[in-house]
């Protein structure tokens, strides 16, 4: 069965500090990987996605993620956190193990940005 | 272009009652998905429509849940009778072609509370 693990349900950083949100997946074949963000009282918004092209993927709001096959990871980073980045972040995979088009999500990481 | 819309935004009902959730996908999107997030858990896939046909309903929890997509446009998800464990946020998403690497666009969700 396919799965996604997000380490750390809550992450707190200072404004201006590096943001690192971890995501690991299980798969025997290269997956498609996504990061979504949910701001308070809003729906899920796509931040970026990996679709087997470049392993370093750049997304909106200066976020980026690197696909590392050897580590089965797709960690999300941002060089400098802003207060507006406070939200919940979800890693998701698709197309694993004959799962079709459905997305399999991690449990989410709540990011808190402090002054 | 309007995004995915969902109605209602919130619903509070008593155990045993019926609730119907509605989703309007982005115009022209043939693929429509329902997901659910129970409090504290990951977002889980419920089912996938291609136009008016159910492509994958492997995530539907039981026969108390009925999803329809009239004429391949909007979709409804009915829960009858509702149980306490049905509480959570129900998300709808849509995509145009249904390829694995394609972005699914999410609505804001319906927050259902069963008392």
| pLDDT bracket for residue A3 (50, 70, 90) | confident
What is the predicted pLDDT for the residue at A98?
53
Per residue in B88-106, pLDDT tens? 999 999 998 766 668 899 9
B86 Cβ contact partners less than 8 Å away, ≥ 6 residues apart = B64, B79, B112, B114
Cβ pair A100:B99 closer than 8 A:
no
Interface test with A, best of B43, B60, B97 (most A CBs within 10 A): B43
Residues B77, A7: contact at Cβ < 8 Å? no
Average pLDDT, chain B: 93
A24 Cβ contact partners less than 8 Å away, ≥ 6 residues apart = A4, A5, A7, A71, A72, A73, A74
What is the predicted pLDDT for the residue at A27?
72
Per residue in A32-86, pLDDT tens? 899 999 998 888 999 999 987 788 999 999 999 999 989 999 999 999 999 999 9
Q: Nearest Cβ partner of B45 from A41, A49, A102?
A: A102
Q: Nearest Cβ partner of A103 from B31, B98, B104?
A: B104
- What is the rounded (10 degree) CA torsion for B79, B84, B86, B88? 130
């Amino acid at each position: 069965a396919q799965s996604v693990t997000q380490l750390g349900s809550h992450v707190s950083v200072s404004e201006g500090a590096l943001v690192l949100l971890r995501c690991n997946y299980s798969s025997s074949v290269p997956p498609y990987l996504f990061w979504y963000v949910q701001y308070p009282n809003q729906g899920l918004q796509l931040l970026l996605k990996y679709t087997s092209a470049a392993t370093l993927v750049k997304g909106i709001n200066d976020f980026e993620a690197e696909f590392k096959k050897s580590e089965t990871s797709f960690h999300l980073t941002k060089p400098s956190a802003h207060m507006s980045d406070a939200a919940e972040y979800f890693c998701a995979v698709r197309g694993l193990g004959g799962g079709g088009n459905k997305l399999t999500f991690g449990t989410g990481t709540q990011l808190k940005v402090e002054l | 272009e309007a995004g995915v819309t969902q109605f209602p935004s919130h619903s509070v009902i008593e155990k045993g009652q019926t609730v119907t959730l509605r989703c309007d996908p982005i115009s022209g999107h043939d693929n429509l998905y329902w997901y659910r997030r129970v409090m504290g858990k990951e977002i889980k896939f419920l089912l996938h429509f291609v136009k008016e046909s159910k492509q994958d309903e492997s995530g539907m929890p039981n026969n108390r849940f009925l999803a329809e997509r009239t004429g391949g446009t909007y979709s409804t998800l009915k829960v009858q009778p509702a149980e306490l464990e049905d509480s959570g946020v129900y998300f709808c998403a849509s995509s145009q072609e249904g390829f694995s690497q394609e972005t699914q666009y999410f609505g804001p969700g319906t927050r259902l509370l069963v008392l």
